Amino acid sequence: MRFQYISEIRAYWEALRDGREVPFRSEIDPRGIEHALEYAFVLERIAPQVARFRLAGMHLNDLMGMEVRGMPLTALFTPKSRTEVSDILQVVFSGPKTVELTLRAETGFGKPEMLAKLLILPLKSDLGDISRALGCFMAEGPIGRAPRRFDLMDCVVNPIEIAPQTQRRPLRHPFPDGFAEPPTPYSGSMSTVIRSRGHLKLVVSH
């Protein structure tokens, strides 16, 4: 099953929010996605169109050839795709919305063709603002020479449906050891328009 961990993390997030708008960052328990941890990550929004990695699985580190924690999400993309990805981040956090991107790796000497999927699911911080995100990045094919960067091919934006009179679950304890964050501090609507190139297809699910 291609990109199976994308579906696994989405299902975990949906079960966790239990009809609410979005779950809290502190509710994430890595035991719930233990098979997908290599591909999982947590983002922190630090500006309207900027989010950086707070945590990331080894797959992302392997693709970049370095530790990605603290790097912006756009570091995974070619320069021509970064503006579009920044616009998409604005949609995720301001909507809030969920997004799934289809990507193709930039090729060259020692860099074979790769296809990838990127899922971004918004989360609330402990303060209640939507400034975190759970995600999954899966690339298929040999990595070759790192770093590998990707072009944006397709973007699917999904609204979040809130169930009426949902009884919220008690908050779980923050991350157990092994997925805990280090203590170091880090210094629209459906009509939102995402700038696109001719080849980019934006699909909005109603």
Q: What is the pLDDT of residues 118-146, one digit of tens each?
A: 999 999 999 999 999 999 999 999 999 99
CB contact set of 14 (below 8 Å; sequence gap of 6+): none
The total domain count for the chain is 1
Any domain includes 183 = no
pLDDT at 169: 56
Any domain includes 142 = yes
Domain that residue 200 falls in: 4-166+188-204
CA distances from 26 to 126, 175, 204 (A): 7, 6, 29
The Cα 151–Cα 49 span in angstroms is: 18
CB contact set of 82 (below 8 Å; sequence gap of 6+): 74
0.85 exceeded by pTM: no
The Cα 67–Cα 2 span in angstroms is: 26
pLDDT at 168: 52
CATH at residue 139: 3.30.450.20
